[in-house]
Every structure is written in structure tokens, then in C-alpha cells.
Amino acid sequence: MLHVVLYEPEIPQNTGNIMRTCMASNTVLHLIEPLGFSLDEQHLKRAGMDYVKDLDYRVYKNWEEFTSQNPSENYYYMTRYGKKAPSAFDFTSCVGDIYLILGKESTGIPKEILKHQLDHCMRLPMVAKARSLNLSNCAAIIVYEVLRQLDYPGLSNVEVIKGEDWLEV
């Protein structure tokens, strides 16, 4: 199973986009508090998170609660300080669930967490003067890199709602 973990996300629109990506890719979403927004129904709708009803998501009070409930050898961290692209990791060799961890928009994942996980830190290659991409874009890129390596398990390769032959009719 694939998981996306958002460490203290601040911007509801980013989280809404990530919720949609997670729902569409059958990925579990984990939210670590504090959140920069409310998860009540009114706020979710305003942020475009209408996919939340079909999403498997969980909320944790802090990093320690998350790690105690989700122990794994397969934590991978998206950070501007990583030195390898997501494609440099072999996700097919992972045994058990895979957790893709992204930090808050303003400061990322704390150094105290990252410094002990250097071999699991990744960075999206970009021009030297760019600090980062949008958080929801980063999440989508790394989710689909893992899914590509695993050959998109359980996902449809054809349009189902309008029918796979819709363009041909």
C-alpha cells in the first residue's frame, strides 16, 4: 500500500489537490497536526476537497503519534536538501507499505527528522536558483513515480465513466 504523509500542511488548496491525487491513485493520506486550516465540511468544500468522501485519510496530533501507529522501514522524504531524484530509488524492492513524506509549505520537514534519514531523502531536480515546486505538484510527481515503478497496481488504464471507446464513437 502507498501512503502520502503531510507534515503540518498549511495551505488548504494544496492539501485539497493532494487529497484528489490520493483518492485517484488509491493512496492513503496521513495529516500531521497542527494543520493550517480546518477539516470541517464547509472548509473542505471551499478548498475544493470534494473527493474527501472517497478518500482514506487519517489525522495525527504529532509526528510521534504518526510513527508509533505506522512503523515502517519505508519512509521516503521529499526535501529540497535531498540529493537523489525519486527515480533513483527502487520502490519495487520495498517490503511492506511505502510512505512518502512531505513537509509544510513554509519550512519543510524538520532537520531533526531528516538528519537521521539522509539515504531516504529525495529532491526533484530543477534549476539551481529554484528552491522548490508547489507541494501538491511534488506529491503528484512522487506518487506517480512510485506507481510507475510498481506498474500502477489496482488502477484503471482506461476511461470508465464515459467508456473506454468514447473517443472512437
- Check the annotation: does 103 bind a ligand: yes
Q: How far apart are CA 39 and CA 53, in angstroms?
A: 12
Cα–Cα distance, 76 to 120 (Å, whole number) = 5
Residue 35 per-residue DSSP state? P
By C-alpha distance, which of 98, 103, 104, 93 is closest to 144? 98
Distance CA 101, CA 66 (A): 11
Tell me the C-alpha distance between 109 and 6, whole Å.
9
Asked if 63 and 32 touch (Cβ cutoff 8 Å), the reply is yes
156 is in an annotated binding site: no
Q: Which residues are annotated as a binding site?
A: 78, 103, 124, 132
Residues in the annotated binding site for S-adenosyl-L-methionine: 78, 103, 124, 132
